[in-house]
């Protein structure tokens, strides 16, 4: 079976599994359940503990002044250091109007405020281009896994052939126009960041952008309602992202946590900033110089939390492997080469924890790359 057939087979199996009746967590919250259903409860040794109150935080990098040679060098160095040490950073002066960010949050919340029946009517879960799209649950990849306390809306933003605008929310009426604009802005920002991160590796600024060809931009809006027993569940299980680069817009409610040096750190919301994290595929291209950080979402008893996430995904037939310029006798190749589509299929079809998918590609399994 070739990679395209395997991808479609995995997609259809995932779709079939999600047809089984499982209450969405918004529904559980609206019922005012007092106890979390058993399928959401983690084993005691996997439950989220409170992060240590230590003086470390995800770097915040100001992108202003890229036109100046000296300032550009400084920003490139900051981005490269953050990508090596954290795999996460926040950016300010990113060029996307703050008014548009507020509009994006507003139309997203308006959709999730609709009744369950209306959300499912407008955006039923269906097989999409590379993975399932619509409104519902997307992380239930096996029948015996512990479920996450999250619902989501998923669809493609670009390129034109991949997005099915007719399946985007119709309510509110400004949703489509808002996300068309935001998608264009995010793609421009992604291209800028990919160029700067290429420079940070000592590569030609166009290296990564040329490699990934006609990339795809996928949207996932994660919605975490209040939970009656938040210490027993994951909002979203520990994982690294299976894409190239991720841009996250938060709603100001804490809940995103990043793992570094075997400790969990809460990512504090910075007004007007966007959160960026390195995906597994960029870790492969950089031969482990940049790290795709393990992260998770935790929930609370009081507030809804919403994260608006954009994933940059290479064209599916692209071979992902370490740039040859980064390989020499002192720096041997760490990972096997893999097609982008094949990696995505493996990533979405198994109940992985942490960084298992990318670590499985290590040529020498004793050399796992951790943040």
Q: What CATH number corresponds to the domain at position 32? A: 2.60.120.330
Q: Give the three-class secondary structure for 278.
A: strand
- Check residue 53 and give its pLDDT: 55
- Check residue 236 and give its pLDDT: 95
HSE on the CB side for 229, CA within 13 Å? 14
Per-residue confidence band for 142, with pLDDT thresholds at 50, 70 and 90: low
- Check residue 11 and give its pLDDT: 44
- Check residue 189 and give its pLDDT: 98
Q: Is residue 141 part of a domain?
A: yes
Q: Is residue 364 part of a domain?
A: no
pLDDT beyond 70 at 351: no
What residues have CB less than 8 Å from 92, skipping those under 6 apart? 60, 61, 62, 63, 64, 270, 272, 273
Q: Is residue 88 part of a domain?
A: yes
- For residues 313 and 274, is the Cβ–Cβ distance under 8 A? no
Which tens digits make up the pLDDT trace of 80-114?
A: 999 999 999 999 999 999 999 999 999 999 999 99
Per-residue confidence band for 206, with pLDDT thresholds at 50, 70 and 90: very high
Number of structural domains the chain divides into: 1
pLDDT beyond 90 at 120: yes
Q: Is residue 365 part of a domain?
A: no
- Check residue 273 and give its pLDDT: 98
What residues make up the domain containing 295? 3-36+60-359
Q: Is residue 309 part of a domain?
A: yes
pLDDT beyond 70 at 18: no
% of residues, the chain, pLDDT over 70 = 89
- Residue of 315 and 347 predicted with greater confidence: 315
Q: How far apart (Å, rounded) are the C-alpha atoms in residues 40 and 20?
A: 16
Determine the length of the chain. 371
Q: Is residue 276 part of a domain?
A: yes
- Beta 132-136 vs 151-158: how paired, if at all? antiparallel
Select from 94, 100, 160, 153 the least CA-distant residue to 126: 153
Per-residue confidence band for 138, with pLDDT thresholds at 50, 70 and 90: confident
Q: Is residue 53 part of a domain?
A: no
Q: How far apart (Å, rounded) are the C-alpha atoms in residues 202 and 199?
A: 5
Q: Is residue 149 part of a domain?
A: yes
If you average pLDDT over every residue of the chain, what do you get? 90
- Check residue 15 and give its pLDDT: 44
């Amino acid at each position: 079976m070739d990679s395209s057939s395997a991808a479609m087979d995995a997609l259809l199996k995932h779709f079939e599994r999600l047809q089984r009746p499982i209450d969405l967590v918004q529904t559980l919250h609206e019922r005012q359940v007092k106890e979390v259903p058993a399928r959401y409860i983690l084993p005691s040794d996997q439950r989220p503990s409170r992060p240590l109150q230590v003086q470390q935080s995800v770097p915040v990098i100001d992108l202003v002044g890229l036109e100046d040679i000296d300032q550009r060098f400084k920003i490139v160095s900051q981005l490269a250091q953050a990508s090596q040490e954290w795999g996460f950073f926040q950016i300010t002066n990113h060029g996307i109007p703050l008014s548009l960010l507020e509009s994006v949050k507003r139309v997203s919340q308006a959709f999730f405020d609709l009744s369950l029946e209306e959300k499912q009517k407008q955006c039923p879960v269906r097989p999409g281009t590379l993975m399932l799209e619509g409104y519902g649950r997307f992380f239930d990849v096996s029948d015996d896994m512990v479920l996450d306390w999250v619902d989501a809306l998923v669809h493609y933003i670009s390129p034109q052939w991949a997005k099915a605008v007719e399946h985007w929310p119709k309510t509110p009426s400004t949703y489509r126009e808002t996300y068309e604009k935001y998608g264009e802005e995010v793609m421009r920002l992604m291209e800028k960041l990919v160029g700067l991160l290429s420079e940070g590796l000592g590569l030609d600024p166009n290296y990564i952008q040329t490699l990934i060809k006609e990339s795809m931009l996928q949207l996932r809006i994660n919605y975490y309602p209040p939970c009656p027993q938040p210490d027993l569940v994951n909002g979203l299980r520990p994982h690294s992202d299976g894409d190239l680069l991720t841009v996250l817009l938060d709603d100001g409610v804490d809940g995103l946590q990043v793992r570094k040096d075997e400790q969990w750190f809460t990512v504090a919301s910075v007004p007007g900033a966007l959160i960026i994290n390195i995906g597994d595929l960029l870790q492969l291209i950089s031969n482990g110089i940049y790290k795709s950080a393990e992260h998770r979402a935790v929930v609370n008893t009081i507030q809804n939390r919403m994260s608006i996430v954009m994933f940059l995904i290479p064209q599916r037939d692209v071979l992902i492997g370490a740039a040859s310029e980064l390989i020499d006798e002192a720096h041997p190749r760490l990972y096997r080469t893999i097609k982008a589509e094949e990696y995505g299929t493996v990533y979405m079809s198994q109940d992985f924890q942490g960084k298992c998918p990318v670590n499985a590609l290590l040529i020498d399994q004793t050399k796992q790359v951790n943040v």
